[in-house]
Structure 1
Amino acid sequence: MKQYDYIFTGAGLSALMTVYKMVVSGKFQNKRILLLDENAKQTNDRTWCFWTREATLWDSAVSKKWDSALFANVHFQRKLELHPYQYNKIQGLDFYNQVFELIATGKNIDFVQEKVLEIEESESIVLVKTETQSFSCSQLFNSIYNPSLVINQSKYPLLQQHFVGWFIQTEVPVFNPEQATFMDFSVAQKGNTRFMYVLPTSETEALLEYTLFSKDLLSKKEYETEIESYIQKLGIQNYQIVEKEAGTIPMTCYPFWKHNTQNVINIGTAGGWTKASTGFTFKNADKKSTELVSFLEAQTNFRKFHKKSKFWWYDLLLLDILDQKNETGSAIFSALFKKGNPPLIFKFLDDETSFWEDLQVIWKCPKGLFIEALLKRLFHF
């Protein structure tokens, strides 16, 4: 049995970000690190987007940036000037290549492509079993999501951000490559929160994603029918589907951190690192992984890592509303973006605003819905 200081079960976004930053810091060269994942991370399996005001560690993997975005519903359209932010797109394979190129330089890091079957924790050691091997470590970072933790409780709502996306290429120029469509709620809502998300990379190329914030997934045909209808609405007659992607991201304020122990920490989706109210993952994981690496340099008890903030409560109220009245999502986001200050909204969604700035954003939302949700939640606790 091979012994390590740190084992990462699952090599997803959060695990790779954390290991990458451990290498960059130069402070973990004497630690043996193992990454375990059944996926080799050698395909372009997803797209991440995030907004930022400054340079990041991931700039070399960014394939496209936008300075403006479009918000729309059936009643209005608004061009959102994002300055000082930019909206960034990263393709999965570019991110994986950047991370593994650096990891390969570290002789203290191993990657094993096997499925994790079992994790056993004793007082001083953590055992990990795969299909053919067993490993042990002092501390373990788990990013394998266990949906039953959330499904088998009723205190915290669970929605899904689920989507199907098509990368298409048109025969004639159609798109404005300088403007992303952040949310287009002009599509039929059908009792849910549904919108189109468009990332144009040239006048003839774009990723179009049909996205829902709701409890239940759709059939593959339903997503694709809506994408086809939207393409027709844009006046596109001849196009080629270059690539497809699909995914589902849990949206919940369930306190995953309560399952952390002294030597085992849940990270990524498994640790509640996804932004609960929007499903955005990349920026949150970037922040959390930086905090975690700093934590490792000073402390060893993983129970002390998590800190609950006011933004957790804001997210919870929105999820409470969408859980009970899923059809109100369009009205909430439309009220927010119709007259709100786009950079301030993005700052708020990044959990970086002061209380006074919070009020400026929240005041734009339908007040009755949130007051009702707050009262119900106070009694629920």
Structure 2
Amino acid sequence: MALVDVDLALIGYGGATSLLLDALDRHGVRGLRIATVDPVETARPHRTWAFWTGPRDAFDPILDAAWSHVDLYGPGGAQRLELAPMRYAMVRSGPVFARADEAADRLGVQAVRASAAALDDDGTSVTVRDAGGAAIVRAAWALDSRPTAPHRPGRTFWLQHFRGWWVRADRDVFDPSSAILMDFRTPQPAHGVSFGYVLPTGPRTGLIEYTEFSPARLDDAGYETALRSYLKLLDLPELAVEEVEDGAIPMTDAPFARRPSPRVVRLGTAGGATRPSTGYTFSAMRRQAEGIAAALAAGGDPVPPAAYPRRHLWMDAVALRAWDRGLVAAPAFFERLFTRNPPGRVLRFLDGLTSPAEEVALMGSTPLLPMARAAAGDLLARIVR
């Protein structure tokens, strides 16, 4: 394989790279030599992303659904959360990937079908090498979205792990105007928290998912049992399962190296886009993509700002510690967070966009003594380390 010389090498071609290509195209970035480096020639795995957005969004033409109110089932019962002017939106990866492929064509992106085994950064350029050590791409910058381990271990490590069924009924069973965001009526694990959610795309179709925040995944039988139990709780008729999707997302206070060397920038979860306390990733990946595209359009370097403020990461570390040590029950924590604050404030916090004053109000709505104990324990652990 001949060495490919480019300005940008995009390592991995999943969600983060797809969003970046779309952003580069929309920001009018032209004249850059760009290559994607990924071994997969077939279609990328399908997945679903849910995120908070305003009354208008660049992805409106490809959204599967969006809701201006959602339902929460917590220890205190059912609560309807009015989100307007915000919306909770859902998009499937297929249309996102298709937009990225179209953008790649317009940008003249070269596809290099190979695995990147090493990124050698000499401070002026990055050489991408394959598993045999051969140089396949040389780039001024490498933007790497492949999964990677944290820079160092954290004090708490959980997973958001889930399995969802895309279902179809033979009669109207869903209210497409409303989604179930968190339903904590599911049986709770001994160490962790579980919930279901329902994202209808029509009166007869939707995504029903079982999710856990806990240290380890279930086996197939465990997810099957949990989903069937949740369908029974919802009192739904027999449904045809048309597709299955699952996954696991790290929830940890362990830091990820966003810039492991001068000209290598990490994107997605590897670049800190996953919110440690919730597993939400999509909105932060979009912000990374927009930041990079705006910087390049202005003639700058392709380095996005941090996905979340440092104070938010500290609050996430405290929350994870509180749940992991059994100081606070996560269902009650989330219920209090949503019911004792305006939904817009909570949504901005989950996206890392609140002000310090708003965060003081949010912290005041959580169980203060247990959270203070968790904060003290986190501080001690940082000192000891």
Counterparts of residues 247-266 of structure 1 (less than 5 Å): 247-257=247-257, 259-266=259-266
Aligned to 1:10: 12
Q: Deviations over 1:288-311 (max 9, x none)?
A: 222223344454485x95484322
User: Is the counterpart of residue 241 in structure 1 residue 241 in structure 2?
Assistant: yes
Task: Name the stretch that deviates more: 365-374 or 40-49.
Answer: 40-49
**1:43 to partner: Cα distance:** 5.1
Aligned to 2:368: 367
Any conservation in 2 of the 1:166–1:207 contact (CA below 8 Å)?
yes
**1:40 to partner: Cα distance:** 4.2
Give the letter aligned to residue 146 of structure 2.
I
Q: Deviations over 1:138-193 (max 9, x none)?
A: 1111111223x36x62x442211100000111223221111100000001102221
Task: Name the stretch that deviates more: 73-82 or 223-232.
Answer: 73-82
Aligned to 1:127: 127
**1:351 to partner: Cα distance:** 1.7
Any conservation in 2 of the 1:198–1:209 contact (CA below 8 Å)?
yes
Aligned to 1:181: 180
Aligned to 1:324: 325
Identity of aligned residues (%): 26
Query: Quick one: distance in 2 between partners of 1:41 and 1:362?
Result: 46
Query: Quick one: distance in 2 between partners of 1:94 and 1:300?
Result: 29
Query: Quick one: distance in 1 between partners of 2:227 and 2:328?
Result: 20
Query: Quick one: distance in 2 between partners of 1:197 and 1:41?
Result: 31
Counterparts of residues 266-277 of structure 1 (less than 5 Å): 266-277=266-277
Counterparts of residues 211-222 of structure 1 (less than 5 Å): 211-222=211-222
Q: Deviations over 1:302-350 (max 9, x none)?
A: 5x95484322222221122233238721121122223432222112212
Any conservation in 2 of the 1:167–1:206 contact (CA below 8 Å)?
yes
Query: Quick one: distance in 2 between partners of 1:288 and 1:61?
Result: 20
Any conservation in 2 of the 1:125–1:136 contact (CA below 8 Å)?
yes
Give the letter aligned to residue 243 of structure 2.
E
Query: Quick one: distance in 2 between partners of 1:272 and 1:364?
Result: 27
Aligned to 2:159: 160
Query: Quick one: distance in 1 between partners of 2:52 and 2:46?
Result: 21
**1:123 to partner: Cα distance:** 3.3
Superposed CA RMSD in Å reads 2.2
Task: Name the stretch that deviates more: 292-301 or 138-147.
Answer: 292-301
**1:74 to partner: Cα distance:** 4.7
**Residue 222 of structure 1: SS of its match in structure 2?**
helix
For structure 2, the 5+ residue unaligned runs are none
Query: Quick one: distance in 1 between partners of 2:131 and 2:353?
Result: 43
**Residue 140 of structure 1: SS of its match in structure 2?**
strand
Query: Quick one: distance in 2 between partners of 1:363 and 1:264?
Result: 40
Any conservation in 1 of the 2:176–2:200 contact (CA below 8 Å)?
yes
**1:45 to partner: Cα distance:** 0.9
Query: Quick one: distance in 1 between partners of 2:258 and 2:245?
Result: 33
Aligned to 2:37: 36
Query: Quick one: distance in 1 between partners of 2:22 and 2:48?
Result: 19
User: Is the counterpart of residue 114 in structure 1 residue 145 in structure 2?
Assistant: no
**Residue 256 of structure 1: SS of its match in structure 2?**
coil
Any conservation in 2 of the 1:61–1:98 contact (CA below 8 Å)?
no
Query: Quick one: distance in 1 between partners of 2:193 and 2:352?
Result: 23
Runs of 4+ that moved beyond 6 A? none
**Residue 5 of structure 1: SS of its match in structure 2?**
strand
Residues 344/175 of structure 1: CA separation in 2 closer, same or farther (3 Å cut): same
Give the letter aligned to residue 139 of structure 1.
W
Q: Deviations over 1:207-264 (max 9, x none)?
A: 1110011111110110111111111222223211011000111122333236532111
Give the letter aligned to residue 80 of structure 1.
L
Query: Quick one: distance in 2 between partners of 1:326 and 1:168?
Result: 37
**Residue 116 of structure 1: SS of its match in structure 2?**
coil
Task: Name the stretch that deviates more: 238-247 or 73-82.
Answer: 73-82
**1:80 to partner: Cα distance:** 0.8
**Residue 257 of structure 1: SS of its match in structure 2?**
coil
Query: Quick one: distance in 1 between partners of 2:20 and 2:14?
Result: 10
Query: Quick one: distance in 2 between partners of 1:110 and 1:53?
Result: 34
Query: Quick one: distance in 1 between partners of 2:327 and 2:92?
Result: 30
Give the letter aligned to residue 20 of structure 1.
D
Any conservation in 1 of the 2:336–2:365 contact (CA below 8 Å)?
yes
Residues 258/34 of structure 1: CA separation in 2 closer, same or farther (3 Å cut): closer
Counterparts of residues 290-369 of structure 1 (less than 5 Å): 290-296=290-296, 297-300=298-301, 305-306=305-306, 308-325=309-326, 328-369=329-370
Give the letter aligned to residue 248 of structure 1.
A
**Residue 371 of structure 1: SS of its match in structure 2?**
helix
For structure 1, the 5+ residue unaligned runs are none
**Residue 340 of structure 1: SS of its match in structure 2?**
coil
Q: Deviations over 1:4-53 (max 9, x none)?
A: 111011112222222222222223x2211111223347356100011111
